[in-house]
């Protein structure tokens, strides 16, 4: 089943006017930032092919990114880089990226729909929805924005660090990435707090 406006409509029935979906990309990789996106869609915003970004092919994600950017009432991204990830841990870094995205939204949201975990320190009414990126159109749109933004950043990093092929695996722990990590050691955007990177530093 494709995402619907069920949760957005429910929030509006409760009196909220600016309902933002919120999601992230990049919690699992061994390298690169974590990116969150927040998006407020207009009512009855039909986006053909919209779904959780992991279920959408890359070319379709790029197309949807452009359409969402053109049609959204508001959108913003929050980025947390590797030094902050290593200092905070990935869960807190993800929450920080989400807070940055929400605080950058103009107009500001009055209600949040968040994939999986809530943000209790944000004084904005909110609802956390398990697997929300496959259920809510706003969260699914945020998922697309976050994923495409992060993938573009990783392609930029590939130009800086071509030995690691970040353009292919985007920093995730694929067999090829692990092989290149072991061969060349970590670069500046590897997350040293993550076990596979830490083990290369200790034993490589």
Q: What is the pLDDT of residues 92-131, one digit of tens each?
A: 999 999 999 999 999 999 999 999 888 988 999 999 999 9
Q: What is the pLDDT of residues 52-76, one digit of tens each?
A: 888 999 999 999 999 999 999 999 9
Beta bridge partners of 113: 21, 127
Closest CA to 167 of 83, 90, 58: 58
Are 77 and 146 in contact, with CB atoms under 8 Å apart? yes
Beta bridge partners of 128: 114
pLDDT of 152 above 80: yes
Q: What is the pLDDT of residue 147?
A: 98
Q: What is the pLDDT of residue 46?
A: 87
User: What whole-number distance in Å separates Cα of residue 105 and Cα of residue 53?
Assistant: 21
Q: Where are the beta strands (DSSP E) in 15-173?
A: 19-25, 34-40, 74-80, 111-115, 126-129
Q: Measured in Å, how far apart are the chain's first and last C-alpha atoms?
A: 46
- What band does 204 get if pLDDT is binned at 50, 70 and 90? low
174-169-35-131 Cα dihedral, nearest 10 degrees: -60
Are 96 and 119 in contact, with CB atoms under 8 Å apart? no
pLDDT of 186 above 90: yes
Q: Which residues contact 78 (CB under 8 A, 6 or more apart)?
A: 35, 36, 37, 38, 96, 97, 98, 99, 100, 101, 102, 103, 104
Mean pLDDT of 32-45: 96
- What band does 85 get if pLDDT is binned at 50, 70 and 90? very high
Q: What is the pLDDT of residue 52?
A: 84
Query: Hey, CA dihedral for 12, 120, 132, 148, is it positive or negative?
Result: positive
Mean pLDDT of 2-24: 96
- CATH number, domain 6-159, options 3.40.50.980, 3.30.420.10, 3.40.50.720, 3.40.1410.10: 3.30.420.10
Average pLDDT, the chain: 96
User: What whole-number distance in Å separates Cα of residue 24 and Cα of residue 17?
Assistant: 23
Q: Where are the beta strands (DSSP E) in the chain?
A: 19-25, 34-40, 74-80, 111-115, 126-129
Q: What is the pLDDT of residue 202?
A: 85
> pLDDT over 70 for what percent of the chain?
100
């Amino acid at each position: 089943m494709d995402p619907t406006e069920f949760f957005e409509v429910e929030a509006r029935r409760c009196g909220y006017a600016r309902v933002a979906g919120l999601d992230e990309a990049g919690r699992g990789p061994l390298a690169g930032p974590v990116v969150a996106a927040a998006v407020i869609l207009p009512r009855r915003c039909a986006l053909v092919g919209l779904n959780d970004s992991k279920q959408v092919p890359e070319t379709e994600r790029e197309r949807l990114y452009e359409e969402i950017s053109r049609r959204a009432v508001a959108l913003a991204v929050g980025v947390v880089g590797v030094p902050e990830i290593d200092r905070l841990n990935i869960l807190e870094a993800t929450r920080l990226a989400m807070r940055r995205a929400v605080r950058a939204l103009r107009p500001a949201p009055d209600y949040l729909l968040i994939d999986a975990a809530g943000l209790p320190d944000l004084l904005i009414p909110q609802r956390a929805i398990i697997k929300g990126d496959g259920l809510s159109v706003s969260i699914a749109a945020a998922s697309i924005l976050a994923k495409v933004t992060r993938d573009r950043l990783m392609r930029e990093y590939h130009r800086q660090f071509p030995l690691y092929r970040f353009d292919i695996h985007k920093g995730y722990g694929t067999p090829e990435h692990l092989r290149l990590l072991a061969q060349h050691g970590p670069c500046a955007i590897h997350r040293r707090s993550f076990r596979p990177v830490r083990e290369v530093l200790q034993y490589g």
